[in-house]
A = this chain, B = another copy of it.
Amino acid sequence: MAEGADIAGRKSDHIDIVLAASPSESDRIATGLEAVRFEHCALPELSLAEIDVSAAFFAKRLKAPLLISSMTGGPERAARINAHLAEAAEELGIALAVGSQRIAIEGRASGGLDASLRRRAPSIPILANIGAAQLVLGYGRNEAMRAVEMIGADALIVHLNPLQEAVQAGGDTDWRGVLGKIGTLARELAVPLVVKEVGAGISASLARRLVDLGVAAIDVAGAGGTSWAAVEAERAADARLKRTAMVFADWGIPTARAIAEARAACPDTLLIGSGGLKTGLDVARAIRLGADLCGQAAASLAAADHSSEAVVAHFAAVVEELRIACFCTGSTDLKALKRAPLINPPDLAG
């Protein structure tokens, strides 16, 4: 219980730190998406209103290729945030990934991660979430299915966060055997398994190995957006931890590169591009580089903390920007956008 309170406090800290993200953040590593520039099409033979930005997520269809990325909060705050996100995702017709269900699985507090979530979002894809570190500590098929069933999820995310664990006091840093356990889950689970990072990126070689083990989708969650090392540095009480976390604030594979390389390594896998995406133009760029869907966490957090209307308004803007990017590249749908010509494309070939 003490540990539970501890985790809960930590999660709430995270939200406050991300929301307060200082301008100095802009000095940090970039996603690389800013270097992806589309060639303008001055004469699109299209109607903006008719552009089709829908996308498939396994059996379901999304109105836009978007996923609200996993975010945990402290128990009361989480409940509110999750309710806002679920209602908004349903209205928007986009996917929702919940934050880590560790506390909920351990039965200590649900934070809104229960049947109420699915009631708020009956039709859209919902993704459950557990951490690789939990797999080490003994989680297996049973706990995974509990996470899925608790919220009626369509798929399960396992998140990989070795750096975050390494730069925090008491993090779980014995990761031996995790790959095997992911393989077992992929085989035994009733729903598709998705593996994601949390802001440092998944390399092409790891993506390939995971897909070979049966993982159904990869969310690169690359560097350039939320930096967990920077967040943990902000939280760190002791100077040594703070220094060490800051040393790794820029660690990671930038999102643009992570997407391009994972797509090259896994041509047929469902690929989620995320990490530092801010606008619908960023979404268009990520799709151009090979993403099928795009995720966003930090950029939607303020809206999530506020109301479901705010979340709807935020993502409506993102969708409109994506549509304009399609319009001004003459792309009638996302398939066309994936082939839109670029100006002076960055070399992301490895």
> A46 CB to closest chain B CB, in angstroms?
6
12 A-B residue pairs with Cβ-Cβ distance under 8 Å, sorted by A, are: A40-B163, A43-B162, A43-B206, A44-B162, A44-B175, A45-B175, A45-B178, A45-B179, A47-B173, A48-B173, A50-B174, A253-B343
Known A40-B253, A47-B173, A244-B324; further 13 A-B contacts with Cβ < 8 A: A40-B200, A40-B201, A40-B251, A40-B252, A42-B200, A42-B202, A43-B178, A43-B206, A162-B328, A163-B328, A240-B317, A247-B281, A247-B321
Which residue numbers of A lie inside 8 Å of B, CB to CB?
Answer: 38-50, 132, 160, 162-163, 166-167, 173-179, 182, 197, 200-203, 205-206, 210, 223, 240, 243-244, 247-248, 251-254, 257, 279-281, 313, 316-317, 320-321, 324, 327-328, 341, 343-344
Asked whether A203 and B39 contact (CB < 8 A) given A174-B48, A320-B244, A343-B257, the answer is yes
Hey, which chain B residues are within 8 Å of A48, CB to CB? Answer: 166, 173-174
Whether B281 contacts A43 by the Cβ 8 Å rule is no
**Residue in B47, B49, B160, B174 whose CB lies within 8 Å of A42:** B160
CA distance A234 to B42 in the complex (A): 22
Whether B42 contacts A251 by the Cβ 8 Å rule is no
CA distance A160 to B41 in the complex (A): 10
Hey, which chain B residues are within 8 Å of A49, CB to CB? Answer: 173-174
> A261 CB to closest chain B CB, in angstroms?
9
User: In this complex, which of A43, A173, A257 has the most chain B Cβ atoms within 10 angstroms of its Cβ?
Assistant: A43
> A157 CB to closest chain B CB, in angstroms?
13
**Residue in B176, B280, B328 whose CB lies within 8 Å of A46:** B176
Whether B39 contacts A253 by the Cβ 8 Å rule is yes
